[in-house]
């Protein structure tokens, strides 16, 4: 009770419309008679039963998941079998990679390839080493990889590869220049003027280059060339220069005759032989070798047949002289 002996209502007691009590809304000038009682509201969603469409979709989803897994399994099994059986690789070889096929369909294939700078290599050889064909596309072509592949060819010193969209490729080649042939351990190789090995000789296109034989001959090929240049009349008859003990040269002629040059002034010694050949056709005789190592002299070795014939002739001559005495 308060001071006026009125019963106080507990603060935690809710309003009851049945008791005719209405809450007062202060400050808004509203008719409290029309204001409903403030009741606590519980948030509770109504459970709805799924309709026909939703039920059908759920059923399809459950069944579709199984079909999808089955289909994926079948495709995976087929792809695995194709890869293991080589069918996929064969298909790629004939048609190109799927990405390249798509790029070609979009107009980004290879319609023009320009190759410049090559002298000894053919365009076909360059494209084969580069791994480029009409099945490639410009979009997915790795220019750096093509450049590295080209540089693995010993005859190629360097290469530049440029992609010009939408469908053009440019390849610029810098070749090493073969200067001579060098034979070691029975194998003939192309070498540069500095003696650097370029490649193994694979065909006869370089057969006319100067030919040297022996250990260290590749580093002294310049000396051999100077001997040839000083004796142009003999050049066409010389097949190869053989470096002996890395000190001096022997010349092998096309006829099979060996010319033994001195260590000092070999070009001058060969010039003396050129004069003998001009005067007496020495190299046309049945001889095996000519030794020019002694200054001012040419020691000729006859072939076995020629030596036997010469011995018999000398014997007959001696018998003839004995019979007249």
pLDDT tens by residue, 239-269: 999 999 999 999 999 999 999 999 999 999 9
CA torsion sign for 72, 77, 83, 86 is: negative
Tell me the DSSP string of 233-254.
Answer: HHHTTEEEEEEETTTEEEEEET
323: pLDDT confidence band, cut at 50, 70 and 90? low
Q: By three-state DSSP, how is residue 289 classified?
A: strand
47: pLDDT confidence band, cut at 50, 70 and 90? low
41: pLDDT confidence band, cut at 50, 70 and 90? very low
CA distance linking residue 226 with residue 261, whole number of Å: 14
| Per-residue confidence (pLDDT) for residue 31, from 0 to 100 | 44
| Per-residue confidence (pLDDT) for residue 80, from 0 to 100 | 52
| Per-residue confidence (pLDDT) for residue 239, from 0 to 100 | 95
| Per-residue confidence (pLDDT) for residue 90, from 0 to 100 | 78
| Per-residue confidence (pLDDT) for residue 87, from 0 to 100 | 63
- Element containing residue 171 per DSSP (H, E): strand 168-175
206 has a pLDDT exceeding 70? yes
Highest mean pLDDT among 35-39, 64-68, 184-188, 202-206: 184-188
pLDDT tens by residue, 94-137: 777 888 888 888 999 999 999 999 988 899 999 999 999 989 99
| Per-residue confidence (pLDDT) for residue 54, from 0 to 100 | 52
- Element containing residue 163 per DSSP (H, E): strand 156-164
Q: Which residues contact 127 (CB under 8 A, 6 or more apart)?
A: 113, 115, 133
pLDDT tens by residue, 219-238: 999 999 999 999 999 999 99
**Mean predicted lDDT score pLDDT of the chain:** 78
Beta bridge partners of 191: 180, 197
| Per-residue confidence (pLDDT) for residue 158, from 0 to 100 | 93
Least confident of 41-45, 133-137, 235-239, 277-281: 41-45
180: pLDDT confidence band, cut at 50, 70 and 90? very high
| Per-residue confidence (pLDDT) for residue 280, from 0 to 100 | 83
Cβ pair 156, 166 in contact under 8 A: no
177: pLDDT confidence band, cut at 50, 70 and 90? confident
- Single pTM value for the model: 0.55
Distance from CA of residue 45 to its chain's centroid?
70
170: pLDDT confidence band, cut at 50, 70 and 90? very high
Cβ pair 7, 1 in contact under 8 A: yes
**Angstrom distances, CA of residue 50 to CA of 54, 56, 57, 60, 227:** 6, 10, 10, 15, 104
Give the pLDDT mean for 44-50: 51
| Per-residue confidence (pLDDT) for residue 234, from 0 to 100 | 92
Angle, in degrees to the nearest 10, between helices 123-130 and 143-151: 120
């Amino acid at each position: 009770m308060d001071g006026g002996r009125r019963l106080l209502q507990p603060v935690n007691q809710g309003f009851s419309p049945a008791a005719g009590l209405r809450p007062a809304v202060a400050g808004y000038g509203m008719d409290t008679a029309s204001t409903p009682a403030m009741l606590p509201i519980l948030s509770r969603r109504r459970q709805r039963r799924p309709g026909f469409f939703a039920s059908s979709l759920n059923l399809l989803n459950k069944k579709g998941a199984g079909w999808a897994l089955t289909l994926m399994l079948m495709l995976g099994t087929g792809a695995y079998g194709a890869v293991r059986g080589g069918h996929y690789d064969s298909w790629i070889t004939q048609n190109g990679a799927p990405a390249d096929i798509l790029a070609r369909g979009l107009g980004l294939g290879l319609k023009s390839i320009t190759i410049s700078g090559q002298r000894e290599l053919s365009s076909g050889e360059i494209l084969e080493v580069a791994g480029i064909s009409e099945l490639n596309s410009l979009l997915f072509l790795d220019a750096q990889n093509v450049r590295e592949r080209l540089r693995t060819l010993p005859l190629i010193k360097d290469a530049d590869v440029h992609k010009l969209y939408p469908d053009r490729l440019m390849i610029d080649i810098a070749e090493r220049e073969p200067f001579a042939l060098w034979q070691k351990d029975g194998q003939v190789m192309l070498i540069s003027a500095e003696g650097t090995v370029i490649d193994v000789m694979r065909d006869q296109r370089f057969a006319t280059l100067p030919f040297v034989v022996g250990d260290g001959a590749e580093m002294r090929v310049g000396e051999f060339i100077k001997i040839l240049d000083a004796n142009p009349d003999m050049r066409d008859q010389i097949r190869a220069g053989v470096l002996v003990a890395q000190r001096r040269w022997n010349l092998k002629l096309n006829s099979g005759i060996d010319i033994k040059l001195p260590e000092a002034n070999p070009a001058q010694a060969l010039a003396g032989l050129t004069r003998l050949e001009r005067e007496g056709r020495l190299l046309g005789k049945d001889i095996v070798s000519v030794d020019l190592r002694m200054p001012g002299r040419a020691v000729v070795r006859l072939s076995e047949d020629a030596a036997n014939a010469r011995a018999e002739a000398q014997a007959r001559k001696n018998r003839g002289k004995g019979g007249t005495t």
